[in-house]
Amino acid sequence: VISLSVPLADRSYPVLVGSGAVRTLASVMPTRAKRAAIVTQAGIGVDVDPGIEHRVFTIGDGEEVKTLSTISDLCRAFASWGMTRADAVVGVGGGLVTDVAGFAAASYHRGIPVVHVATSLLAMVDAAIGGKTGVNLPEGKNLVGAFWQPSAVLCDLDALATLPARELACGRGEMAKYHFLTGDDLLALPLDQRIARCIKIKADVVGADEREAVGSTGGRALLNYGHTLAHALEIVTDHELRHGEAVAIGLLFAARVAHAMDRVSAERVAEHDAVVASYDLRSSLPEGLSADRALALMMRDKKAIDSLTFILDGPNGLEQVPGIDADLVRRVLVDFGATA
Ligand SMILES: NC(=O)c1ccc[n+]([C@@H]2O[C@H](COP(=O)([O-])OP(=O)(O)OC[C@H]3O[C@@H](n4cnc5c(N)ncnc54)[C@H](O)[C@@H]3O)[C@@H](O)[C@H]2O)c1
Ligand SMILES: [Zn+2]
């Protein structure tokens, strides 16, 4: 088991990655915790033993259950069990469970400790790390939440054996992104070390910019590499294209925008193609995507009139680049296969 740390001074916490990591749960529980509320889903099937009295609280599956009413149900169940500030929450699941369990822990009694047992690849390399928790509103995703760092995160690679293939692909999409956040060749590493490396990259970014400082253009914002187009693709396809899959295409597109702006060479674009291909992810835009529709979605809620902001690769690595001409972006979209 590989041991990492999210560096946050007195709130630093361990992340353990490897086969069998879940068996260390009792040893990473907050020392003063008397009882543990295990929050999970029916389909997860990962047995955990926090080493103290515990009870299992099952939530539903799918983004529709990521709501304030689920938080209310959970907190009421915690209260019925008589949970106090001396108790703790353990979230066992993918990103949906860790977001919900984390937010319930952040809110119950104004905040009790939480430990995450990440069971999806996406939760391991992204959602369970960094302390963002929350739920959706009808008005938008993740609109209500809190920063609430866990006391520990366990990433047991054995859990991935039961993860559906499509969910694995989503995790690989985020992993592809991490290749471009540092200069390292992550593909050269064995899987456990590669997952650990992705976590380390996110952990260091979070350590430097815990709460995504408003107006900050480095730090956590760079974790959104590939996400500008990805969000538009998720909406255009009515979420048929899943987040991680859309991110992979978004990375290829961002590389092409950077190339069109003379920020990177054709070889660097080819490197993006090679990384996404090696993760066995779709590399083309959805059939018949309208360039104007994609452009409009990318400009929405950004208050941009005729320019866009992207995270782009360049001579100094990734940077947030504002003021990109919409016509250039439209041209690159059409070259990439969108309809004019
Ligand atoms: N907090 C953050 O920083 C952050 C970052 C990225 C994503 N997220 C959130 O994470 C969520 C997506 O996470 P996800 O991709 O893990 O999806 P998910 O949690 O919905 O899990 C996907 C499916 O896989 C199942 N599953 C999970 N682990 C399994 C296992 N080991 N075996 C069998 N089935 C398993 C789940 O029950 C679910 O049906 C979104 O709500 C997103 O907003 C949060
Ligand atoms: Zn993402």
Q: What is the pLDDT of residues 87-118, one digit of tens each?
A: 999 999 999 999 999 999 999 999 999 999 99
Residue 243 near residue 299 (C-beta atoms within 8 A): no
| Residue 329 pLDDT exceeds 80 | yes
Contacts of 270 (CB under 8 A, 6+ apart): none
Gap between the Cα atoms of 100 and 238, Å rounded: 23
| Residue 214 pLDDT exceeds 90 | no
User: Each residue of 38-65: pLDDT tens digit?
Assistant: 999 999 989 999 999 999 999 999 999 9
Q: What is the pLDDT of residue 212?
A: 86
Please name the residue whose Cα sits nearest to atom 39 of ligand 1: 61
Please name the residue whose Cα sits nearest to atom 36 of ligand 1: 94
Dihedral angle, C-alpha 285, 257, 203, 35, nearest 10 °: -30
Pocket of ligand 1 (CB under 6 A): 41, 43-44, 46, 61, 63, 66, 93-97, 99, 119-120, 122-123, 126-127, 130, 132, 142, 159, 162-163, 167, 170
Q: What is the pLDDT of residue 215?
A: 78
Ligand nearest to the CA of 171: 1
Task: Measure 227 CA to ligand 2 centroid, in angstroms.
Answer: 7
If one residue of 122, 172, 178, 206 were mutated to test the ligand 1 pocket, choosing by the most ligand atoms within 8 A of its CB, it would be: 122
Task: Measure 126 CA to ligand 1 centroid, in angstroms.
Answer: 10
Q: What is the pLDDT of residue 171?
A: 97
Please name the residue whose Cα sits nearest to atom 41 of ligand 1: 96
| Residue 303 pLDDT exceeds 70 | no
Contacts of 276 (CB under 8 A, 6+ apart): 176, 248, 249, 251, 252, 283
**Closest among 171, 163, 159 to 199, alpha carbons compared:** 171
Q: What is the DSSP letter of 339?
A: B
Q: What is the pLDDT of residue 218?
A: 73
Q: What is the pLDDT of residue 184?
A: 84
| Residue 216 pLDDT exceeds 80 | no
Residue 124 near residue 91 (C-beta atoms within 8 A): no
Q: What share of the chain in percent tops pLDDT 90? A: 92
Confidence of residue 182 (pLDDT cuts 50, 70, 90): confident
Between 82-91, 152-161, 208-217, 227-236, the lowest mean confidence (pLDDT) is in 208-217
Gap between the Cα atoms of 66 and 91, Å rounded: 14
Q: What are the structure tokens assigned to 87, written together?
A: 């108790």
* Number of separate helices (H) and strands (E) present in the chain: 11, 11
Confidence of residue 17 (pLDDT cuts 50, 70, 90): very high
Locate the ligand 1 atom nearest the alpha carbon of residue 66 and give its number.
41
Q: Average pLDDT for residues 320-326, to the nearest whole number? A: 94
Task: Measure 289 CA to ligand 1 centroid, in angstroms.
Answer: 27
| Residue 305 pLDDT exceeds 80 | no
With both helix axes pointing from N to C terminus, report the angle between 291-299 and 227-236 in degrees, rounded to the nearest 10.
120
| Residue 304 pLDDT exceeds 60 | no
Q: What are the structure tokens assigned to 128, written together?
A: 């369970």
Q: Average pLDDT for residues 172-190, to the nearest whole number? A: 93
- Global pTM reads 0.96
Q: Distance of CA 99 to CAs 54, 90, 185, Å?
A: 20, 12, 30
Task: Measure 20 CA to ligand 1 centroid, in angstroms.
Answer: 20
